Amino acid sequence: MAQATIKERKSLSAWLSQEKVFRLIPFIMVEATFLLLLAIPFMLTIYISLLKWRANRPFEQAYFHGLLNYVRVLTTEDFWWALGRTFYFAGTAVFFELVIGFLLAMLAYKQFRGRRIYITIFLIPMMVVPVVGGYNFSMIYIDSGPLNQILAPITEAMGVNPRIRWLSHPIAAQWAIIIADVWQWTSLTFLIFLSGFTALPQQLTNAARVLGASRWQIFWKVHLPLLKPAIMIAVIIRSMEALKLFDLSVLLTFGGPGTSTETIAFFLWRQVWQFNKYSFGAAASIILLFIFGALIFYGIYLLVRERSIVEEESMR
Amino acid sequence: MTNEAGRRAEMSFAKRYNLFFWFRHAALLGWASMIMFPIFWMISTSFKDSGDWLAWPPNWFPSFLGGGYEPTLDNYRLIFSLFGQGDRVNRDVLEHVFTIWGAVRDSMVISSISALLALLLGTFLAYSISRFNVGGKYFRYMILTIRMVPPIIIAIPVVMYYAILIPFATQTVLGYRISMIDSYSGLCLLYMATTLPFVIWMMLNFIEEIPKTIEHAAHIMGAGRIYTLRRVVMPLVAPGMVVTFLFIFILNWSEFLLALTLTQPKVVTLPILLNKFQSAVEGRLYGPQAAIGTVITIPVVILGVLIQKHLVTGFSFGTIRK
């Protein structure tokens, strides 16, 4: 009896150790997870997007509605405005993050006293919970808050009321969100550029200097081309993350004033969870999946390209 | 001596006064103070009494540093009180009971369980991707799509799935309805799926650092695949697994959108609890909110500083390594 169990166990482990079984077990498990958790819901969503259904009545009373939801989403002006605004926020925020992160990394990559402390401090915003960060900024932006007091000498010199309402003017509110995003994520671009700068080969710089290149030339002709992969990776990763922007518009302005800070995520959340337009939300999320899918595949294509460049260079 | 003086004279103005040194420190210090300012403001607000939250001009420092407000622990007393009873806080406020213990428990359970599950699944998949090239050359890149899709696009289908299909399926198969909305299991599974790309990429980095020859040696000496995995590979990647676990834990701990849409009122994670203070009767409760913010942030920042060398690898999906 005991021998039989040993034999069985052995044969089980032998079966598991076969390469074709062993290599596929984790793959199948992960694929099954994705299928059950993501693929089936998306099929359900496609089905629901063809129905007319609001959550204020039971699902059984929904009826078939054709492609009308899609037409409705595509003809909703707010949908396109929210989408455009998301790209505007993401583009502006990522631009500032890249510029500031690059300059800081340029200042901090060489050894000097206190470098580690600076780097540790610069890392902190990235680790702060985004909700806490957004909430901190909402506290700073209130009209009797610290930001207005810092700006008070300037505003008083200009003869304006120092209690500026940051969050209830459309354009100021948009910039408030962008600044909060820049505060939090410049640390990531800084880190990416920092590791790019520290990986610069010293021989090339020395060689250029021996050949009589000025600092300016070394930077533009030697360093910048070598840093291109790092820059591309920072752009791709940050813009993909920035397009998800949601927390800040909930916490700082709740989409307001009017709809001037509604991002696409916030717009959809409001349609589904506040107005209960479930089939509308389903159609919109399918449409967005296609739009973002195209962007993501392009981004991943670029990532693969840059990564192979990086690897080739490290092979040399 | 003359030589020394000559060199001095040759030096440019900038070099003589070490201008670059001062410029670098001024710029870095300026940015560091801008970064720390919101955090400083949160911590100081968490020690203010309700009258000082919105005072104009704002009070910067506590009275023992010569500033204008009396530091108080009331906010912390309110959020940590076991029965939701602060001493000096208004009754209206107490209609919403804002203690954080329930949320701390929910956040801890959900973040750690889903991080563990993702770690187990992801490590094995990363191993078989690295050693057997499972799924083809581009599989590791395709898996990134899941992370790059905005979470709202995932949230809407999953909510409908949890709210309609799963109760329906369990009704027909098991005979009773199971709803996964507002439950630990629903959020844990979803967090596991959305953090898998991070796990796979971080673990791929760690696993590819192990030379294959070690495994070959073990194989030649007669070790089976599972034995090799358990006794040879696991000890070598264990530190990497710890780092990955902490990283995923931080991500789950701070996740907002999926928690907002899939839970409440029973399961409340910490970011959601913080958000709830917005809609209190008395307007915003800045003090307790700041106290909660401080309490949430401290453990995450400590964990983050511990794994700071690997943060870049994590956030850039392993495309940048240190």
Interface of B with A in 258-297 (CB under 8 A): 260-261, 270-271, 274-275, 278, 286, 289-290, 293, 296-297
Output phi, psi for A139, to 5 deg. -75, -35
- What is the residue extent of each domain of chain A? 76-315
Which of A21, A28, A30 is the best mutation test for B, with the most CBs of B within 10 A?
Answer: A30
Q: Which of A243, A185, A91, A268 is nearest to B159 (CA)?
A: A268
Provide the number of CB pairs (under 8 Å) joining chain A to chain B: 280
What percent of chain B has a predicted confidence (pLDDT) above 70? 85
B285 and B219 together in one domain:
yes
B59 and B123 together in one domain:
no
Q: Does residue A189 belong to the interface with chain B, where contact is any CB pair within 8 Å?
A: no
B143 and B257 together in one domain:
yes
Amino acid B94 reads L
B276 and B311 together in one domain:
yes
- The mean-pLDDT minimum among A67-76, B4-13, B106-115 falls in B4-13
Q: How confident is the model at residue A144 (pLDDT cuts 50, 70, 90)?
A: confident
CB atoms near residue B171 (< 10 Å): 12
Q: Is residue B195 part of a domain?
A: yes
Q: Is the CB of A192 less than 8 angstroms away from the CB of B156?
A: no
**3-state secondary structure string across A186-213:** HHHHHHHHHHHHHCCCHHHHHHHHHCCC
Q: Is the CB of A244 less than 8 angstroms away from the CB of B150?
A: yes
Kindly report the pTM of this predicted structure.
Answer: 0.87
Q: Which of B158, B175, B270 is nearest to A129 (CA)?
A: B270
How do residues A264-283 score in pLDDT, each as one tens digit? Answer: 999 999 988 888 888 888 99
Task: Indicate the number of domains in chain B.
Answer: 3
Residue A12 has pLDDT above 80, yes or no: no
Amino acid B234 reads M
How do residues A25-66 score in pLDDT, each as one tens digit? Answer: 888 888 888 888 888 889 888 888 888 877 667 777 777 877
B171 and B300 together in one domain:
yes
Interface of A with B in 128-147 (CB under 8 A): 128-133, 135-137, 139-140, 142, 144-146
Is domain A76-315 annotated with CATH 3.40.50.2300?
no
Amino acid A251 reads L
Q: Say which residue, B232 or B53, is predicted with more confidence.
A: B232
- Say how far apart CA B270 and CA B261 lie, in whole Å: 14
Q: Is residue B321 part of a domain?
A: no
Q: Is the CB of A121 less than 8 angstroms away from the CB of B35?
A: yes
Q: How confident is the model at residue A205 (pLDDT cuts 50, 70, 90)?
A: confident
Amino acid A273 reads W
B106 and B241 together in one domain:
yes
- pLDDT averaged over chain A? 84
Residue B280 has pLDDT above 50, yes or no: no
Q: How confident is the model at residue B86 (pLDDT cuts 50, 70, 90)?
A: very low
Q: Is residue B179 part of a domain?
A: yes
How do residues B88-104 score in pLDDT, each as one tens digit? Answer: 444 444 445 567 788 88
- At B145, which CATH number? 1.10.3720.10
Find the closest chain A residue to B34 by CA distance.
A183
Residue A93 has pLDDT above 90, yes or no: yes
B14 and B149 together in one domain:
no
Average pLDDT over residues A299-306: 85
B130 and B221 together in one domain:
yes
Give the contacts of B250 (CB within 8 A, at least 6 positions apart).
A127, B300, B303, B304
Q: Does residue B253 belong to the interface with chain A, where contact is any CB pair within 8 Å?
A: yes
Q: Say which residue, A73 or B315, is predicted with more confidence.
A: A73
Q: Is the CB of A140 less than 8 angstroms away from the CB of B135?
A: no
B212 and B168 together in one domain:
yes
Q: How confident is the model at residue B7 (pLDDT cuts 50, 70, 90)?
A: low
Q: Is the peptide bond before B57 cis (omega within 30 degrees of 0)?
A: yes
B248 and B147 together in one domain:
yes
Q: Are B258 and B191 in contact (CB under 8 A)?
A: yes
Domain finish residue from B61, B96, B131: B96
Q: Is the CB of A233 less than 8 angstroms away from the CB of B141?
A: no
Q: Is the CB of A23 less than 8 angstroms away from the CB of B301?
A: no
pLDDT of residue A4: 52
Q: Are A282 and B157 in contact (CB under 8 A)?
A: yes
- Say how far apart CA A190 and CA A104 lie, in whole Å: 7
pLDDT of residue A55: 67
- Contacts with B149 from chain A: Cβ below 8 Å: 289, 292-293, 296
Q: Is the CB of B38 less than 8 angstroms away from the CB of A33?
A: no
B258 and B180 together in one domain:
yes
How do residues B90-147 score in pLDDT, each as one tens digit? Answer: 444 444 556 778 888 889 999 999 999 999 999 989 988 888 888 777 888 888 888 8
- Contacts with A188 from chain B: Cβ below 8 Å: 312, 315-316
Q: Is residue B177 part of a domain?
A: yes
| Kind of pairing between the strands at A63-64 and A51-52 | antiparallel
**Burial (Cβ within 10 Å: 0-12, 13-18, ≥19) of residue A238:** buried
Output phi, psi for B62, to 5 deg. -70, 165
Find the closest chain A residue to B319 by CA distance.
A307
Q: Which of B39, B157, B106 is nearest to B271 (CA)?
A: B106
How do residues B156-203 score in pLDDT, each as one tens digit? Answer: 899 888 888 888 888 888 888 888 888 888 899 999 999 999 899 889
Find the closest chain A residue to B29 by CA distance.
A118
Residue A180 has pLDDT above 70, yes or no: yes
Alpha-carbon dihedral angle through residues A248, A250, A251, A252, given to the nearest 10 degrees: 70
User: Which residue bears the tokens 């927390």?
Assistant: A247
The residue segments making up the domain with residue B74 are 48-96
Q: Which two tokens stand for residue B52?
A: 């000082």
B54 and B201 together in one domain:
no
pLDDT of residue B12: 64
